[in-house]
Amino acid sequence: MTRNITTGIDIGTYQIKVVVTKNDKNTKIPKVIGAGFAQSKGLRHGYIINSNDTIHSINTAIEQAEKSSGVKIKKAFISIGGVGLEEVCSKGSAVISRADSEITDLDIEKAIRDSEKKVEQKLINRKILHEIPICYKIDGQIALGKPQGMKGSKIEAEILFIICLEQHLNDLIAAVEETGIVVEDVMASPIAGSFVTLSKAQKIAGSILANIGAETVSIVVFENNIPISLKVFSIGSTDITNDIALGFKIPLEDAEQIKIGLLSNINFPRKKLDEIITARLSDIFELIEAHLKKIGKNELLPAGIIITGGGSGIATIEDIARAALKLPSKIALLNSGESAVFGQMRGQVRDSSWAVAYGLCIWGVSTENESMGIKIAKETGGNIINWIKRFLP
């Protein structure tokens, strides 16, 4: 049975979530059979500052997931987020090697390695998680579709490298493996979450997925079904909680409950609360808008912004995002197939805050027979030329 089990572990600053799935060969959608979570300890802005506390938190979440699933977890796919996660774009080229001018995988690999060589200085102390081909050109003309099999004398590749601080990656892997779990692979958490919260139509038209976490906000921008940009900001929903606590001189616990609308027996001016929340959310969306301007996509994403994460539960967030970005705005919902699967957990896996952990399971199923990810990331980097065509759903 273990061979049919896939586990995803989302290690966030606020919570650690574990989802255990059983692979369904008929539907090809992993069925959730167990889940567990624990309050994160020993993390700051997504990276580990106290490994013992983090290991204990991971253990707690894993034990809960094992109990609810009835399965002993031996290996898992994990996510990495935090402020050390970033992007580097580069272009490389290669001369076609075959005498008949037909482009092969080797030619594409050479172009990708050339693009990597051009950003070597930016990779100091960093590790490549994913290499995502944005565009190929053959003899100066954009290649529509796969370039393999086409003919030309020169191929150019525009590559988006998703990188992270090597120390953060090593610490994360070490903490998980200290619990006795073998790390099968590592994925950037914004991309893992997109498997569950974005539809293919949204990815093709152009959209931005924003995960508002406790101490970070991570975004990934899609166009033509490809992630074209990724960014993490060191601001999060905890900042809103802190602002409310300071504004009303109340404990942090009460401020958190007020923020998400669960505490109404405290007498406070509603107008002032709205002003506090709006001010901090505006800061967040101004950062997102500045990034979209930087990549030339502000006001140009028809599917708009889809908001997920623990901070997405704030009542006015959709309206504030719509006004700040001048884009359609909505709270992320689990796609219909995933919603049915999650519903079977009887409320244990309730909302899109579990998207990253479950997205890792979907990715794990799709990469069963692939050689990619952490096996390479521990050594040279994640070469995923064929990864794009497997983007789900």
Domain ranges of the chain: 2-82+166-189+349-390, 86-164, 200-331
pLDDT, tens only, 250-289: 999 988 888 877 776 667 788 898 899 999 999 999 999 9
d(CA 228, CA 223): 7
Q: What percent of the chain has pLDDT over 70?
A: 87
CA 200, chain centre distance (Å): 16
pTM, 2 dp: 0.86
Domains 2-82+166-189+349-390 and 86-164 fall in the same CATH topology: no
CATH architecture of the region 200-331: 2-Layer Sandwich (3.30)
Q: Sheet harboring 75-80: ordered strands across?
A: 31-39, 15-22, 5-11, 75-80, 182-188
Contact 51, 171 (CB under 8 A): yes
Contact 186, 84 (CB under 8 A): no
Supply the CATH classification number for the domain 2-82+166-189+349-390. 3.30.420.40
Q: Per-residue confidence at 46, pLDDT binned at 50, 70, 90?
A: confident
d(CA 130, CA 372): 9
Residues 6+ apart with CB under 8 A from 38: 15, 16, 57, 58, 60, 61, 64
| Nearest alpha carbon to residue 244 among 223, 263, 224 | 263
Cβ-count burial 223-253 (b if 16+ within 10 Å, e if not):
beebbbbbbbbebbbbbbbebbbebbebeee
Domain 86-164 class?
Answer: alpha beta
Going from the C-alpha of 211 to that of each of 92, 220, 282, 312, 331, the distances in angstroms are 31, 9, 15, 8, 10
pLDDT, tens only, 163-202: 999 999 999 999 999 999 999 999 999 999 998 899 999 9
The size of the chain, in residues, is 393
d(CA 355, CA 79): 11
pLDDT, tens only, 128-160: 999 999 999 999 999 988 899 999 999 999 999
Going from the C-alpha of 285 to that of each of 141, 191, 221, 257, 309, the distances in angstroms are 36, 20, 14, 23, 15
- CB atoms near residue 195 (< 10 Å): 23
pLDDT, tens only, 224-254: 999 999 999 999 999 999 999 999 999 999 8
Q: Is 377 helix (H, G, I), strand (E, B) or coil?
A: helix
